[in-house]
Amino acid sequence: MDRIKKIDWGYLLRNYLVVFVAIVLFIVSSQLSDVFLSTQNIFNLLRQLAPPTLIAIGMLFVIMTGGIDLSVGSVVAMASVFTAHLLMTHNLVVTIVLVLLCTAVFGAVIGYLVAYRKLAAFVVSLAGMTIASGIAFIVSRGMPQRIRNDALRSFAVDSVLGVPILVCFALAFVLIFALIHRYTTWGRIVQAIGSNETAAKLSGINTNLYTVSVYVLSSVLAGIAGIMIASRVNIGSPLAGQLMELDAIAAVVIGGASLAGGNGKVLNTLMGVWVLGMIGNIMNLMNVPSYPQDVLKGVIIILAILLQMSKKGKDINSSSMA
């Protein structure tokens, strides 16, 4: 029984490496800049990371089934434009319901094509990306649109017990989906599909329906992210959410999930989002110009993935038995 008392660092490192990376990055950043640790900077950063967090959670579950959803960035734009447009004629609640309904239908179509028509997720969601972006431009006529809605605005600026609502919101989603992944049949089945879809199907599971559900989730979370962004900038813009799908994929991968599907953790994905966010933040604080920032960010993503790979290699060796 001694083994239980002792902390298994090897296990922790293998499964939560990204948490350590985030902690190290946090400490290094706080040394590099005095401003980094200020409440204002931290809350600003966290508020800014709320929409990417939601998108990354959706992406995680899609990736867990072995798929990918490249359309989420454009869905953000579509949701933000729809929000501005609908608020001119409807109240906030109706607007939000309609926007989320639209994104759910959008995700369901992508999911249907992937699951039932067996089209490659990469291609379908790539097409979805241009379609959603196109719709955003059509509805907005290519122009950013001002939003005048106090309720929506307060969502972005107000705080609960000193913590911005957006941040509370994002953390609540992380918690809920971590629990869903761990304790519900949906989480178990999504993982099973990514690991071995044939075996899952032959176990009597309606794998197609579950596959559709992850794309619906991914789209709806992107829709919520779109509304969040609209509330922060008070503008509905067809350019919102650009490249956010790539950041989401990067965060999921930095969080240790395999693009082949079958594994991944919500908490680690959140850490992936924070790692990416902190890198951007500290470079801004140190006045690194934007283009070198992109290069550095790319390099850091690759390093993080290499680190993940090396620990996975060890994993396989230590568990391989004749």
Partner 1 sequence: MDAEYRIEMKNMSKSFGGIHALKGVSFSVKPGEIHCLVGENGAGKSTLMKILSGAYRMDSGEIKINGKPVEITSPAQAIKQGIGIVYQEFELANDLSVAENIFMESLGKSAFVNWSKLNEEAQKVVQSIGFDINPRNNTGDLSVAYKQIVEIAKVLSKNVSILILDEPTAVLNDSEAEVMFKLLLKLKEKGVSIIYISHRLDEIFKIGDTVTTLKDGEITGVNPVSEMTVDKIIELMIGRELSDKYPKRVSNIGEECIRLEGFSGGMFRDVSFSVRKGEVLGLAGLVGSGRTEVMRALFGADKRLSGKVFYEGKQVNFPSTVKAVRGGLALIPENRKEQGLIPALNIRKNITITNLKKVTKLNIFNSKKESEVAETLSKKLRVKTESVESNVFSLSGGNQQKVVIAKWMNTDSKVVIMDEPTRGVDVGAKTEIYGLINDLATQGNAVILISSEMVELLAMCDRLLVMNQGIVKGELEKENFSEKNIMQLIVEEK
Binding site for partner 1 (CB under 8 A): 183-186, 188-189, 191-192, 194-196, 198-206, 262-263, 318-322
* Nearest to partner 1 of 97, 199 (CB atom): 199
**Measured from the CB atom, is 164 or 194 closer to partner 1?**
194
| Torsion sign, CA atoms 305, 306, 311, 317 | positive
Distance separating alpha carbons of residues 283 and 290, to the nearest angstrom: 9
Structure tokens at 157: 């600026």
Closer to partner 1 by CB, 61 or 106: give it: 61
Q: Cβ of residue 170: shortest distance to partner 1, in angstroms?
A: 23
Token pair, residue 261, equals: 């599907």
Q: Which is nearer to partner 1, 148 or 314 (CB)?
A: 314
- The span from the CA of 318 to the CA of 19, in Å, is 22
- 242, 77 Cβ separation under 8 angstroms: yes
- Give least dist CB 207 to partner 1, A: 9
Query: In terms of C-beta density within 10 A (0-12 exposed, 13-18 middle, 19 or more buried), how is residue 223 classed?
Result: buried
Q: Would you tell me how many other CB atoms lie within 10 Å of the CB of residue 273?
A: 29
Amino acid at 75: V
Q: 103 or 308, CB closer to partner 1?
A: 308
* 58, burial (CB in 10 Å: exposed 0-12, middle 13-18, buried 19+): buried
Q: Give the nearer residue to partner 1 in terms of CB position, either 46 or 189.
A: 189
Written as six digits, the tokens of 121 are: 């997720």
Token pair 């992850």 in the structure block, residue: 214
Tokens linked to 220: 């709806």
- DSSP conformation letters of 291-312: HHHHHHHHHHHHHHHHHHHHHH
Between 202 and 309, CB nearer to partner 1: 202
Task: Give the count of beta carbons closer than 10 Å to the beta carbon of residue 179.
Answer: 12
